[in-house]
């Protein structure tokens, strides 16, 4: 149990692939992933702990116990930020059990939860302190089950990491109360999350009522049970049952969390119809409602998906939590179906939307992640700042990043009855067993800066090793030990006797690519974007000469060159048109001056000084 990661289907689940234990993959310290993991452990996670105390989130729980006086502080669902940080701490202690400060936070917070929990098992600081008479009465906005879900996921992490046994006890008491309260009641929470949490608690405990209630919540969604409030039922995914839904809609994070739970329920209950619905909604989401960076959410007003091809670059909401939810949903879809496209989307959103939401220092974050920050943008409001902020009044994103990064090694490799599949490339070591035989794999690579991956495999029995060929690759250019490959379903599959150890070299060519938008994406018509490997690139004002405004720049995409340093940038010829003095001048030939532009990976933007940035650039 102590080695399992965040998602672990039971042996009875209908799934094509299984995850490896969290400890099976050791990421090389000098790799990109290694820098992310170290930054998370040294900076992001301790920062989250400090902010939980500074913001009053921990004190809210102390108000329940009588240790602190005064009114409730922060968002009414601030308990969830505590729980996500607890989950991150549990996963991190798997890697660094010697971290005494982190263990102290986990243990003292667990003890606080024990004291704050009601005699009946209820635990929610806001509805205990501020609105005790409204418990379970305002589910359309209360987030009571959402908070409970994050508590349960923290407990799952604690159980699998072998720490914080009190958290497991608290979460099970609350989960049992929820089963008792809702097993025969037609009600759902306005913010999905409890569904996937209950399934995972079932996977930890084997207690079937948790799975049954998760399935019930999924099937009750879309029957008009929630107060639609000001945004309407679509915002809450309460407008159509999941099994009948044809399109993703409404609040992006809620939709994606719901779909993660849908897949969990489907594989554990052998529900083909439900999994088919998830596939159908995946086609809609990734066919016409996903940003180039893998982000989701086109509208600020309701943090929601838009119409098909409604993907404005500058008004992109693209919430960090939606990117993380997409990663989680695609992981579950990958395990359920074995379809390579889900690994491709995991790679895209991880290296762009997710990685770009956190600063190089690990202590500043974007809530929304636009693909264009305009010159003159008013970044004074935290909903659309010009630079990453250390915390937010709605602080869902930073601890969500912390828990994902702490568990990241668990998403690199999958397994099935015949062998292993390398899904996400990073330098490191993999040690596991397949069919009772010990397997050791060493990966040496500078991915994603370089597409060469050297793989050494040692095991005492035949093993099928599958190497994912990313969707951004031209398959005809890929080489394995210098020879052309013939991928099947997006993978090169090798079955060999590896007993003496065998090293092979996979070359994934990474030329710079020019990407055009679908012609129906009106917001970026006449523009192109630059990419290389899994990385999307952007141009920042900081790299332009004095006096040049980013919106006046055009590019000639036929001239892209790769600059190989520790961070691979792109150079491209372009031009700067004469600045117009009229808002709507006559359509005449423009005068332009040549310029050489530097494009850097999108995930690194905003680490110098606040300023304009754009991914989609008009053509010369």
Q: Where residue 310 sits, what CATH number does that domain have? A: 1.50.10
Residue 493: inside a domain = yes
Say how many Å lie between the first and final Cα of the chain, rounded: 58
Residue 371: inside a domain = yes
Is the link from the previous residue into 198 a cis peptide, with omega within 30 of 0?
Answer: no
Distance of CA 45 to the CA centre of its chain: 17
Identify whether residues 430 and 521 lie together within a single domain.
no
Identify whether residues 500 and 528 lie together within a single domain.
no
For residue 380, what pLDDT is reported? 86
The residues, ordered by sequence, that sit 6+ positions from 506 with a Cβ below 8 Å of its Cβ are 452, 453, 454, 455, 467, 478, 479, 480, 492
Identify whether residues 543 and 501 lie together within a single domain.
no
Evaluate the CA torsion angle 327, 332, 337, 338 in order and state its sign.
Answer: positive
Q: Is the pLDDT of residue 2 over 70?
A: no
For residue 556, what pLDDT is reported? 93
- Report how far residue 237's alpha carbon sits from residue 334's, in angstroms, rounded to the nearest whole number: 24
The residues, ordered by sequence, that sit 6+ positions from 488 with a Cβ below 8 Å of its Cβ are none
Are 409 and 22 contacting, i.e. CB atoms less than 8 angstroms apart? Answer: yes
Q: What is the mean pLDDT of residues 403-409?
A: 98
Residue 12: inside a domain = no
Evaluate the CA torsion angle 569, 575, 581, 587 in order and state its sign.
Answer: negative
State how far the alpha carbon of 160 is from the alpha carbons of 93, 98, 117, 204, in Å. 11, 17, 22, 8
Residue 2: inside a domain = no
Which helix (H) or strand (E) segment holds residue 348: the answer is helix 340-349
Q: Is the pLDDT of residue 582 over 90?
A: no
**Each residue of 304-320: b (16+ CB within 10 Å) or e?**
bbbeebbbbbebbbbbb
- Report how far residue 482's alpha carbon sits from residue 282's, in angstroms, rounded to the nearest whole number: 36
- Report how far residue 86's alpha carbon sits from residue 402's, in angstroms, rounded to the nearest whole number: 10
- Total tally of structural domains belonging to the chain: 3
Question: Out of 59-68, 125-134, 452-461, 494-503, which region has the weakest mean confidence (pLDDT)?
Answer: 494-503
Q: Is the pLDDT of residue 559 over 60?
A: yes
- Report how far residue 606's alpha carbon sits from residue 44's, in angstroms, rounded to the nearest whole number: 17
Q: What is the mean pLDDT of residues 97-108?
A: 97
- pLDDT band of residue 580 (cuts 50, 70, 90) is confident
Closest alpha carbon to 324 in 575, 64, 84: 84
The residues, ordered by sequence, that sit 6+ positions from 130 with a Cβ below 8 Å of its Cβ are 71, 72, 76
Q: Is the pLDDT of residue 492 over 80?
A: yes
Identify whether residues 320 and 454 lie together within a single domain.
no
Q: What is the mean pLDDT of residues 21-36?
A: 97
Identify whether residues 112 and 134 lie together within a single domain.
yes
For residue 454, what pLDDT is reported? 98
Identify whether residues 127 and 73 lie together within a single domain.
yes
Identify whether residues 352 and 340 lie together within a single domain.
yes
DSSP, res 452: E
Identify whether residues 555 and 456 lie together within a single domain.
no
For residue 106, what pLDDT is reported? 98
Are 23 and 94 contacting, i.e. CB atoms less than 8 angstroms apart? Answer: yes
- Report how far residue 155's alpha carbon sits from residue 172's, in angstroms, rounded to the nearest whole number: 8
Residue 3: inside a domain = no
For residue 579, what pLDDT is reported? 76
Q: What is the mean pLDDT of residues 148-156?
A: 98
Closest alpha carbon to 141 in 229, 22, 263, 25: 229
**Each residue of 210-231: b (16+ CB within 10 Å) or e?**
bbbbbbbbbbbbbeebbeeeee
Are 139 and 189 contacting, i.e. CB atoms less than 8 angstroms apart? Answer: yes
- pLDDT band of residue 107 (cuts 50, 70, 90) is very high
Helix axes 79-95, 57-65, angle to 10 degrees: 110
Give the end of a domain, one of 411, 429, 464. Answer: 411
Give the end of a domain, one of 379, 411, 443. Answer: 411
Identify whether residues 249 and 297 lie together within a single domain.
yes
Q: What is the mean pLDDT of residues 106-119?
A: 98
Question: Out of 45-59, 160-174, 487-501, 600-614, which region has the weakest mean confidence (pLDDT)?
Answer: 487-501
- pLDDT over 90 for what percent of the chain? 92
- pLDDT over 70 for what percent of the chain? 100
Domain hosting 479: range is 414-507
pLDDT tens digits, 196-243: 999 999 999 999 999 999 999 999 999 999 999 899 999 999 999 999
- Report how far residue 74's alpha carbon sits from residue 76's, in angstroms, rounded to the nearest whole number: 6
DSSP, res 580: P
Q: Which two tokens stand for residue 424?
A: 């996400």
Q: Is the pLDDT of residue 1 over 80?
A: no
Give the end of a domain, one of 411, 438, 472. Answer: 411
Give one DSSP letter per residue of 353-404, joined into a string.
IIHHTB-TTSS-B-SS--SEE-TT----STTS-SS-BS--SS--HHHHHHHH
Are 150 and 197 contacting, i.e. CB atoms less than 8 angstroms apart? Answer: yes
Q: Where are the beta strands (DSSP E) in 5-90?
A: 18-19, 25-27
pLDDT tens digits, 499-524: 888 999 999 999 999 999 999 999 99
Identify whether residues 423 and 326 lie together within a single domain.
no
Q: Is the pLDDT of residue 381 over 90?
A: no
Residue 366: inside a domain = yes
Identify whether residues 202 and 234 lie together within a single domain.
yes
Residue 9: inside a domain = no
Catalytic residues: 303, 396
- pLDDT band of residue 83 (cuts 50, 70, 90) is very high
Q: What is the mean pLDDT of residues 385-391?
A: 94
The residues, ordered by sequence, that sit 6+ positions from 420 with a Cβ below 8 Å of its Cβ are 20, 413, 414, 430, 432, 434, 439, 441, 463, 464, 465, 466
Q: What is the mean pLDDT of residues 393-397?
A: 96
Closest alpha carbon to 412 in 397, 429, 399: 429
Helix axes 100-116, 144-161, angle to 10 degrees: 130
Beta bridge partners of 575: 554, 594
- pLDDT band of residue 537 (cuts 50, 70, 90) is very high
Q: What is the mean pLDDT of residues 348-355?
A: 98
Q: What is the mean pLDDT of residues 95-110?
A: 97
Q: If you average pLDDT over every residue of the chain, what do you get? A: 96
Could you identify the residue written with the tokens 């794999």? 441
Identify whether residues 454 and 386 lie together within a single domain.
no
For residue 383, what pLDDT is reported? 81
Residue 383: inside a domain = yes
């Amino acid at each position: 149990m102590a080695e399992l990661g965040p998602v672990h289907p039971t042996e009875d689940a209908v799934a094509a692939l299984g995850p490896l234990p969290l400890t099976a993959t050791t990421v090389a310290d000098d790799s990109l992933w290694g820098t992310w993991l170290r930054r998370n452990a040294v900076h992001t996670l301790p920062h989250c702990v400090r902010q939980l105390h500074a913001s009053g989130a921990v004190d809210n729980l102390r108000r329940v116990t009588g240790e602190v006086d005064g009114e409730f502080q922060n968002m009414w669902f601030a308990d969830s930020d505590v729980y996500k940080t607890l989950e991150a701490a549990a996963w991190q202690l798997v890697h660094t059990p010697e971290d005494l400060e982190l263990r102290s936070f986990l243990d003292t917070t667990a003890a606080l939860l024990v004291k704050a929990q009601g005699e009946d098992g209820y635990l929610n600081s806001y509805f205990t302190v501020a609105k005790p008479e409204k418990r379970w009465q305002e589910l359309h906005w209360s987030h009571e089950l959402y908070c409970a879900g994050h508590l349960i996921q923290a407990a799952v992490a604690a159980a699998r990491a072998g720490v914080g046994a009190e958290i497991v006890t608290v979460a099970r008491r609350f989960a049992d109360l929820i089963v008792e309260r809702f097993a025969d009641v037609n009600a759902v929470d306005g913010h999905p999350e409890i569904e996937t949490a209950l399934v995972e608690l079932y996977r930890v405990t084997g207690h079937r009522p948790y799975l049954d209630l998760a399935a019930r919540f999924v099937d009750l969604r879309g029957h008009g049970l929630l107060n639609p409030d000001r945004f309407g039922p679509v915002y809450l995914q309460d407008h159509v049952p999941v099994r009948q839904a044809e399109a993703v809609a409404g609040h992006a994070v809620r939709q994606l969390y719901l779909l993660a739970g849908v897949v969990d329920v489907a594989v554990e209950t052998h529900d083909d119809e439900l999994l088919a619905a998830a596939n159908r909604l995946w086609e809609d989401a990734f066919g016409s409602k996903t940003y180039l960076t893998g982000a989701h959410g086109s509208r600020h007003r309701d943090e929601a998906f838009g119409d098909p091809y409604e993907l404005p670059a500058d008004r992109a909401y693209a919430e960090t939590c939606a990117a993380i939810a997409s990663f989680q949903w695609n992981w579950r879809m990958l395990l359920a179906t074995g379809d390579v496209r889900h690994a491709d989307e995991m790679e895209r959103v991880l290296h762009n939307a997710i990685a770009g939401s956190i600063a190089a220092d690990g202590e500043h974050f974007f809530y929304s992640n636009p693909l264009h920050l305009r010159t003159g943008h008013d970044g004074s409001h935290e909903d659309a700042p010009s630079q990453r902020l250390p915390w937010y009044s709605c602080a869902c994103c930073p601890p969500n990043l912390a828990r994902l990064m702490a568990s990241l090694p668990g998403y690199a490799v999958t397994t099935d009855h015949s062998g292993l599949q390398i899904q996400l490339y990073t330098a490191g070591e993999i040690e596991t067993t397949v069919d009772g035989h010990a397997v050791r794999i060493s990966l040496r690579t500078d991915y994603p800066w370089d597409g060469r991956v050297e793989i050494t495999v040692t095991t005492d029995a035949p093993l099928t090793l599958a190497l994912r060929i990313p969707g951004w690759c031209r398959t005809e250019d890929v080489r394995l030990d210098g020879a052309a490959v013939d991928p099947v379903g997006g993978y090169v599959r090798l079955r060999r006797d590896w007993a003496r150890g065998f090293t092979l070299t996979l070359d994934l060519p990474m030329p710079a690519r020019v990407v055009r938008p679908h012609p129906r994406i009106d917001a970026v018509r006449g523009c192109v974007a630059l990419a290389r490997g899994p990385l999307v690139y952007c141009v920042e004002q900081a790299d332009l000469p004095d006096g040049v405004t980013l919106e006046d720049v055009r590019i000639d995409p036929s001239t892209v060159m790769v600059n190989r340093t520790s961070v691979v940038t792109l150079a491209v010829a372009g031009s700067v048109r004469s600045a117009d003095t009229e808002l709507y001048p006559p359509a005449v030939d423009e005068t332009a001056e040549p310029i050489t532009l530097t494009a850097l990976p999108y995930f690194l933007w905003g680490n110098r000084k606040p300023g304009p940035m754009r991914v989609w650039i008009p053509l010369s």
